[in-house]
Structure 1
Amino acid sequence: MDQVSESPLDATRVTARAFFVAERINTAGLERGDVLSTAPLAFRVGDNGVAVLFRYGVVVLIGRNALEEDEFLRGLEHRMTGAFARREEEIAAIELASDKDDQIPPGGPICLQSLSPERLILIAEALAKSVVLARHEREVAAVFDKTEPFARELANSGRMAGGRRAILQQIGNALSVRHRVTGPVAVSEKPDILWDKPQLERLYARLADEYELKERAEALNRKLEVIAESAQVLTDIIDTRRALRLELIIVLLILFEVLVTIYQLALRTLG
């Protein structure tokens, strides 16, 4: 990893904000002389700011105000694939406390011994994963809200409300969310920068605990398993309906053939 050791920020207190803007961001060609990291891509912005870009669609801006953030994101729009109409955001306050160890007091800012690039990138990693989890949690909750009436009707009457199209739409919603959530964001994996800076593992562990990354990812995976099971149940119901319909058609055809045969025998008898 190519990075510098001195802090890219002059302030002692800054704000970091993560934006989940698209399904993917093309970072090719953005490498520059003032790059702080290549995985993820991090570089200086302006006189006192840092941008960290993740290919899975997250941008983290540190030390920028709202207008500067909007301007920077607009400049990336041509690099976004599958841009979201609604952006998920996560914010954190960072404070320089050179006389203390790296820590995150309850309800307070993230206190760092130094505003080094490595520490800022670790914060960006945690914020990026948290903002992705937040969007996926909302998407999964929306699928549960849509499938709950089906499950309630099935429990109450033993039958599935709605037609085949409605059931297929719910299966599509469930599978779509599962595909997006199990995408390229490996929440449980250790950031690449820790391989070069193992002394910062304690800071990242504190960040992961603060944003409950592991617990949220596990809860999300459990919900995804329920969604997969629900999609399977809905698929089985469609198959059962189709089988019953085919059986009914076969019975009617047999009955029709019997009636035709009886009619022909009756004609021969009368003749």
Structure 2
Amino acid sequence: MTGTSEVSNLETPPTNSKSAVRIVARALLVGDRIDAAGLERAEMIATVPLAFRLGPTKFAAFYRFGVAVFAGLTSEEETAFLEKIASRISGKPDGKNEETAVLEIRADYEDRVPPGGPVEMPDLSAARFLIVADVLAKSVSLARDEGKLGGVFDIIEPFAVQLAETGRAPWNRRSMLKLIGQALLAQHRISGRVAVEEKPDILWDRPNLERLYARLEDEYELNERAKAVTQKLNVIVETGQALTDIFDVDRATRLEAAIVVLILAEIGLTLFQIFFSFGHIPV
């Protein structure tokens, strides 16, 4: 964890212990970046990410890397909220990326994350919401990275197949430059991704919720997916470097060939001049 966030109003009204309440939390990829500066208001519960309590069990959080997380809101309410901050969202998402979690709340529950089942918790406090939001936001961000890397791999694969079958790279300069550009673009987009290994700042204040975070992290396989993304990115970067080296070697080889041709032409011209000069020596 790095830094701290200002958190307030972490308590939530008690839940009826006899019946469980189900609330849906949803993370949406809304753009490349959200500028949250100046959106602070009285119902704010945290500054990093900027998060609000909108009701006893209604929350919203916004992450700078383009993800909005809601809990307890209807689709219409989510849309209305996003319309209010539309001017602060830059870039457009490639397709629809979202992640949901069903939260089952009952006072006699302990924090538990059954495989494939609803997340059980005794209450939906602001602190618990921030932990759930952090995991969902990271999952959506990873899904975006996975999609972008998959597109680059689709371009790389035909090149790799031809290189394996023929032992020669396709000497189409434009296609090689395009592939190098795709590799560099993927590196640029992914290199600034959210650090999945960093835990949410709220755990500094609520270490008792560390277990809940760890269980959610395992459920959404954040570490495993982050490692896979890093490995794919390394392959793409190495491929881009290999293509650059091949391109440089090819250009150097052609330059050397041109120099050899010019030297031979110069030698031939010199020999011709010498022969022509000897052929016209007066007797």
In which range does the TM-score fall when normalised by the shorter chain? over 0.9
Q: Which residue of 1 is the match for residue 236 of structure 2?
A: 227
SS of residue in 2 equivalent to 1:86: coil
Q: Which residue of 2 is the match for residue 4 of structure 1?
A: 9
Return the letter of the residue paired with 1:141.
G
1:95-244 matches, within 5 Å, as 95-244=104-253
Aligned residues: 271
**How far 1:87 moved relative to its partner?**
3.4
Give the gaps of 5 or more residues in structure 2. 1-5
Distance 2:83 2:196 in 1: 27
Return the letter of the residue paired with 1:5.
L
Q: Which residue of 1 is the match for residue 90 of structure 2?
A: 81
The CA RMSD over aligned residues, in Å, is 1.8
**How far 1:12 moved relative to its partner?**
2.2
1:24-63 matches, within 5 Å, as 24-45=33-54, 49-63=58-72
Return the letter of the residue paired with 2:11.
E
**How far 1:263 moved relative to its partner?**
2.1
**How far 1:6 moved relative to its partner?**
2.7
Give the gaps of 5 or more residues in structure 1. none
Distance 1:72 1:174 in 2: 36
Distance 2:75 2:171 in 1: 46
TM-score by length of 2: 0.90
Cα pair 1:103 1:206 within 8 Å, conserved: yes
Deviations 1:105-126 (A, max 9, x none): 1221111111101001100000
Larger relative CO (CA 8 A, sep 6+): 1 or 2? 2
Cα pair 1:9 1:115 within 8 Å, conserved: no
**How far 1:214 moved relative to its partner?**
0.7
**How far 1:194 moved relative to its partner?**
0.2
Q: Which residue of 2 is the match for residue 21 of structure 1?
A: 30
**How far 1:61 moved relative to its partner?**
1.1
Return the letter of the residue paired with 1:88.
N
Distance 2:162 2:154 in 1: 14
Aligned-residue identity in percent: 49
**How far 1:46 moved relative to its partner?**
6.5
